[in-house]
Amino acid sequence: GISCVLQDGEVFEKAGVNVSVVFGLLSEEAARQMRSRGKSLKAKDGKLPFCAMGVSSVIHPKNPHVPTMHFNYRYFEIEEADGTKQWWFGGGTDLTPTYLNEEDAVHFHKTLKEACDKHDLKLYPKYKKWCDDYFYIKHRGERRGIGGIFFDDVDSPSKEEVFQFVKSCAKAVVPCYIPIVKRHCHDSFTPDEKLWQQLRRGRYVEFNLVYDRGTKFGLLTPGSRIESILMSLPLTARWEYMHTPPESSKEAEILEVLRNPKDWVH
């Protein structure tokens, strides 16, 4: 794999891209995780050869008015005991703002919806809900961000058709996010707004280390590169005991959306 990371940039405090191609034998823990999602995996002498490849990126901007963005698109293949191969695609793109800007949220979701709609009008609502459900921090009762799209284990109608869909989603990353960055990267902000950004990043870390399937898979893969797996973590974050924002504040506004996801495109 190749990891490319930018730190202490003028616009991005920390931004990284991982391109990985991994071959090996699936660990027992990883196989157990897949079986829990309904995969029927027949091992030979307890061994399951696999290959996985994908591109992932996480961008944590300096300015609290520019949202954090994450995307990941991947392909997975497993060879079973009888030589047959199971394959599937997974991935998604999601946005994690510190403060809510409805115009940005609508732009982000509409761009992803357009990418999905080229293939099937049912995909965006299905994968938008999947995203809201997946990026849920159970112990906090809130989502990591305002969502986007997320899917996994997609293996129909055909490999080529799914691949074309995944490519459409990947091509939507720049137009869904960069206009938002350009709109806000020079906005002024206060020390209190920067503090709130640090607290929200703490939530980001909690999700990634406790729940994120990709992070957990990487940590369970023998010989994996820890620096690349933990690239998604922000450069700085903060945890304050019993912090609660004032009622009717801009900070409370984003929390309401994280607890009750919205439909941004209708």
CATH number at residue 21: 3.40.1500.10
pTM score over 0.85: yes
Inside any domain, residue 102:
yes
In the block, residue with structure tokens 């946005």: 95
For residue 136, is it within any domain? yes
- Locate 19 and state its tokens: 């391109």
Report how many domains make up the chain: 1
Highest mean pLDDT among 20-29, 33-42, 237-246: 237-246
Question: CA distances (Å), 45 to each of 49, 82, 85, 141, 222, in order?
Answer: 11, 12, 17, 42, 18
Range of the domain at 41: 2-259
The reply to whether 265 falls in a domain is no
Tell me what percent of the residues of the chain surpass a pLDDT of 70. 98
Q: Is residue 137 part of a domain?
A: yes
Residue 64 has pLDDT above 80, yes or no: yes
Give domain status of residue 86, yes or no. yes
- Average pLDDT on 9-24 reads 94
Q: What is the pLDDT of residues 164-208, one digit of tens each?
A: 999 999 999 999 999 999 999 999 999 999 999 999 999 999 999
Give Rg (Cα) of the chain: 19
CA distances from 198 to 50, 63, 96, 98 (A): 38, 11, 13, 9
Q: At what angle do helices 159-171 and 173-184 cross, to 10 degrees?
A: 10
107 flagged as catalytic = no
Give the pLDDT confidence score for residue 219 in this predicted structure. Answer: 87
Neighbours of 167 (CB within 10 A): 12
Query: Which tens digits make up the pLDDT trace of 66-93?
Result: 999 999 999 999 887 787 888 999 999 9
pLDDT value of position 257? 97
Confidence of residue 41 (pLDDT cuts 50, 70, 90): confident
Using one digit for the tens of pLDDT, what is the confidence trace for 197-244? 999 999 999 999 999 988 988 888 778 889 999 999 999 999 999 999
pLDDT of residue 212: 94
Residue tagged active-site, from 70, 107, 109, 184: 70
Reply yes or no on whether the pLDDT at 50 is more than 80. yes
Q: Rounded mean pLDDT of 131-152?
A: 98
In a domain, 98, yes or no: yes
Task: Indicate the DSSP class of residue 246.
Answer: P
159 assigned to some structural domain: yes
Flag whether 28 is in a domain.
yes
